[in-house]
């Protein structure tokens, strides 16, 4: 009865993760429980973001709403939800959030073996105009079963066990990798479940789009300027690339992942380390890009090889289609030699 309105073998994210878990007979399901709490956080934020326009949730912190309640900005609200969901999972020991200056060390009674780094609502400056925003997260295992210390989250991105993002746009899409490929799930509000809609995502080897804030062009270094020039005025007679820049990392990266091309937030004279944060923006997106057959470069090295020294450290980033990033790496290598 293929014509049935409802498919019956629904591959929900929960079932998908349990399938993954079954490949690791030694695992006790801790990871699946952790992910289910992250998924809960995403569902909550999706509902809050969708309601924001109506319930005036988007007010600035400190204002009061019609009920005279203290307004919480959506990113503050989202952060509280994720922190509470992660702590209550009983599977985490250290949390690093874009919203919190210091790392959060989970109390011993609730402590587990995973460290989670996350940006609860990236691009939140775009909420008021309805542009897609998102949650970005990465998961590390505690280095050795001892006391959880800050060093346990200052690990290179290549040590991540999993990474993902949830984009709150026309639909709510969660893109996840647990180290064996990338899969996309879309929230079905009528079921309250994320359903597998983008199995085994692979980024095109080469793309026709470049994505950068051209407003920073006067501050770019040579290789970045040369690459963008090549996108706009190709010398080999190939068509110029299209510029697509949303200004919300999750949306720009999601388009890059599905359509191909390259997303760049380069260093510039104003910000020598670029703008994006290593732990909870650069690493998770780089992890996903590599898992989807793309790559990610900092201007000096493979992004996932970076070893952060501070939890809110920034890095330049060039990520996307394998061949496009190769071109950027060649331009930086040539400058090294010059
Ligand atoms: P710019 C949003 O504020 C953000 O952190 C990312 O989501 C986005 O990619 C970047 O900053 C945009 O920065 O300087 O181009 O506005």
Sheet of 183-188, strand order: 104-105, 92-97, 111-122, 133-141, 162-168, 172-177, 183-188, 193-198
In this predicted structure, what is the pLDDT of residue 72? 64
CB neighbours of residue 121 within 10 Å:
28
Q: Where are the alpha helices (DSSP H) in the chain?
A: 13-22, 30-55, 74-88, 222-232, 249-259, 283-291, 322-337
What pLDDT score does 84 carry? 97
- Residue of 119, 166, 276 best suited for mutating to test ligand 1, as the one with most atoms within 8 Å of CB: 276
CA nearest to 240, candidates 280, 215, 210 = 210
Residue 56 is predicted with a pLDDT of 58
What is the position in ligand 1's atom list of the atom closest to the CA of 213? 15
Per-residue pLDDT of the chain (338 residues; tens, 9 = 90+): 555 555 677 899 999 988 888 887 777 889 999 999 999 999 999 998 888 765 555 555 555 555 555 556 888 899 999 999 999 999 999 999 999 999 999 999 999 999 999 999 999 888 778 899 999 999 999 887 667 888 889 999 999 999 999 999 989 999 999 999 999 999 999 999 999 999 999 999 999 999 999 999 999 999 999 999 999 999 999 999 999 999 999 999 999 999 999 999 999 888 899 999 999 999 999 999 999 999 999 999 999 999 999 999 999 999 999 999 999 999 999 999 88
Q: What is the pLDDT of residue 318?
A: 98
Closest atom of ligand 1 relative to the 248 alpha carbon? 7
- Per DSSP, 143 falls in state S
Ligand 1 atom nearest 263 alpha carbon: 9
Distance (angstroms) between ligand 1 centre and the Cα of 258 equals: 20
Three-class SS of residue 225? helix
What's the pLDDT at 106?
A: 96
What's the pTM value of the predicted model, to 2 decimals? 0.94
Residue with tokens 């990520």: 319
Q: If you measure from the C-alpha of residue 27 to the centroid of ligand 1, how many angstroms do you get, rounded to a whole number?
A: 38
* 303/222 Cα distance (integer angstroms): 20
CA-angle at 95, arms to 141 and 185, nearest 5°: 75
């Amino acid at each position: 009865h293929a014509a049935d309105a409802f498919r019956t073998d629904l591959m929900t994210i929960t079932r998908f993760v349990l399938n993954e878990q079954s490949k690791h007979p030694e695992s006790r399901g801790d990871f699946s429980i952790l992910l289910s709490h992250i998924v809960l956080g995403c569902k909550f934020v999706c509902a809050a973001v969708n309601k924001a326009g109506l319930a005036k949730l988007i007010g600035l912190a400190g204002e009061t709403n019609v009920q005279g309640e203290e307004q919480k900005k959506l990113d503050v609200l989202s952060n509280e939800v994720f922190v509470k969901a992660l702590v209550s999972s009983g599977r985490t020991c250290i949390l690093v959030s874009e919203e919190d200056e210091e790392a959060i060390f989970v109390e011993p009674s609730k402590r587990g073996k995973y460290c989670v780094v996350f940006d609860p609502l990236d691009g939140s400056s775009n909420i008021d105009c309805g542009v897609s925003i998102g949650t970005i997260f990465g998961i590390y295992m505690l280095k050795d079963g001892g006391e959880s210390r800050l060093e346990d989250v200052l690990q290179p991105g290549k040590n991540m066990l999993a990474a993902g993002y949830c984009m709150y746009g026309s639909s709510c899409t969660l893109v996840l990798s647990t180290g064996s490929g990338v899969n996309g799930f879309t929230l079905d509000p009528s079921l309250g479940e994320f359903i597998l809609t983008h199995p085994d995502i692979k980024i095109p080897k080469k793309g026709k789009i470049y994505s950068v804030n051209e407003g920073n062009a006067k501050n770019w270094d040579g290789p970045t300027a040369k690459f963008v020039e090549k996108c706009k005025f190709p010398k080999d007679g190939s068509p110029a690339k299209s510029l697509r820049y949303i200004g919300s990392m999750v949306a720009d990266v999601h388009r890059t992942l599905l359509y191909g091309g390259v997303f760049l937030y380069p260093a510039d004279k104003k910000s020598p380390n670029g703008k994006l944060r290593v732990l909870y923006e650069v690493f998770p997106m780089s992890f996903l890009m590599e898992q989807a057959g793309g790559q990610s470069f900092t201007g000096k090295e493979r992004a996932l090889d970076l070893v952060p020294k501070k939890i809110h450290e920034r890095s330049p980033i060039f990520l996307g289609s394998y061949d496009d990033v190769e071109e950027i790496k060649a331009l930086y290598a040539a400058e090294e030699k010059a």
